């Protein structure tokens, strides 16, 4: 289960979703009402829940580069969406993921707004995203939240501690620069790869640390050592 809330960072969500689909995992997706604004702002995609989102808008989103061009793997992504993805309306509290009896491995909230962090920490369940996260916690399944805000208020920090105490993994959208990234997509994929690691999903989205200082730079042709 993936929840996309209305924090900046829709490229992180796209990379996580591509990683889950590449791993052959079924994906239940909910995009909050506020996330429609960030998606429109960051990608130009006008998201509508239901038939309009799947597979068309989702394929447009996941199949585009940060610059808005067509990704070379777009056709494979589209095929995986058709096979594996299911979009649920944010207002549909009767959707499967509202119940603990609906089978999921866990949930990733990426990006996680401070509002969704508060709502999950307090158990508000104000929409399907928050309810599905609450269900994930109550069922003892893995919940990974990916906050994207700076600076944090004291309230958000307390909510994050509460989520950690409840068993969630707090995985900040905080790219590392040790993996040899030379562009923004590589930094996005680093975060997404570490988020998938936290969720227990095998991925090859970034270059892992090998124990050798400078190895990532050495792999980049033309870069001075």
Ligand X SMILES: Cc1cc2nc3c(=O)[nH]c(=O)nc-3n(C[C@H](O)[C@H](O)[C@H](O)COP(=O)(O)O)c2cc1C
Residues that bind ligand X (CB under 6 A): 5-8, 32, 34-35, 37-38, 41, 113-116, 148-149
Least Cα distance to 204 among 219, 192, 220 occurs for 192
State the CB neighbour count (10 A cutoff) for residue 122.
13
Phi-psi region of 27 (alpha: psi -120 to 50; beta: other; left: phi over 0): beta
Closest to ligand X by CB, 45 vs 201, is: 45
CA–CA distance, 203 with 206 (Å, rounded to integer): 8
Q: Least Å distance between CB 214 and ligand X? A: 33
Angle between helix 184-199 and 10-22 (nearest 10): 60
The smaller minimum CB distance to ligand X, of residues 15 and 114, is found at: 114
Q: Which is nearer to ligand X, 39 or 62 (CB)?
A: 39
Residue 39 Cβ, how far from ligand X at the closest point, in Å?
Answer: 10
Q: How far is the CB of 129 from ligand X (least distance, A)?
A: 7
Q: How far is the CB of 8 from ligand X (least distance, A)?
A: 4
Q: Is 64 helix (H, G, I), strand (E, B) or coil?
A: strand
Q: Which is nearer to ligand X, 82 or 161 (CB)?
A: 161
What torsion, rounded to 10 degrees, do the Cα atoms 104, 109, 200, 183 define?
A: 140
The answer to whether the Cα torsion of 75, 76, 78, 79 is positive or negative is positive
Query: Between 171 and 216, whose beta carbon lies closer to ligand X?
Result: 171
The CB-of-85 to ligand X minimum distance in angstroms stands at: 20
């Amino acid at each position: 289960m993936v929840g996309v809330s209305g924090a900046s960072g829709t490229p992180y969500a796209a990379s996580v979703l591509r990683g889950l689909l590449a791993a052959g995992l079924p994906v239940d997706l909910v995009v909050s009402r506020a996330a429609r604004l960030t998606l429109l702002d960051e990608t130009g995609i006008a998201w509508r829940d239901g038939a309009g989102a799947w597979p068309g808008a989702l394929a447009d989103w996941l199949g585009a580069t940060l610059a808005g061009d067509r990704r070379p793997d777009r056709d494979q992504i589209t095929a995986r969406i058709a096979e594996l993805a299911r979009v649920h309306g944010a207002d549909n509290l009767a959707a499967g993921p509202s119940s603990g009896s609906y089978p999921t491995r866990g949930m990733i909230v990426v990006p996680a707004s401070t509002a969704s962090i508060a709502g999950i920490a307090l158990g508000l369940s104000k929409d399907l995203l928050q309810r599905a996260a609450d269900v994930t916690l109550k069922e003892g399944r893995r919940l990974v939240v990916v906050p994207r805000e700076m600076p944090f208020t004291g309230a958000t920090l307390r909510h994050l501690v509460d989520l950690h105490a409840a068993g969630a993994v707090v995985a900040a959208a905080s790219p590392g620069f040790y993996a040899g990234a030379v562009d923004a997509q590589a930094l996005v994929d680093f975060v997404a790869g570490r988020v998938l690691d936290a969720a227990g999903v095998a991925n090859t989205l970034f270059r892992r640390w090998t124990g050798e200082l400078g190895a990532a730079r050495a792999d980049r042709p033309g870069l001075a050592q």
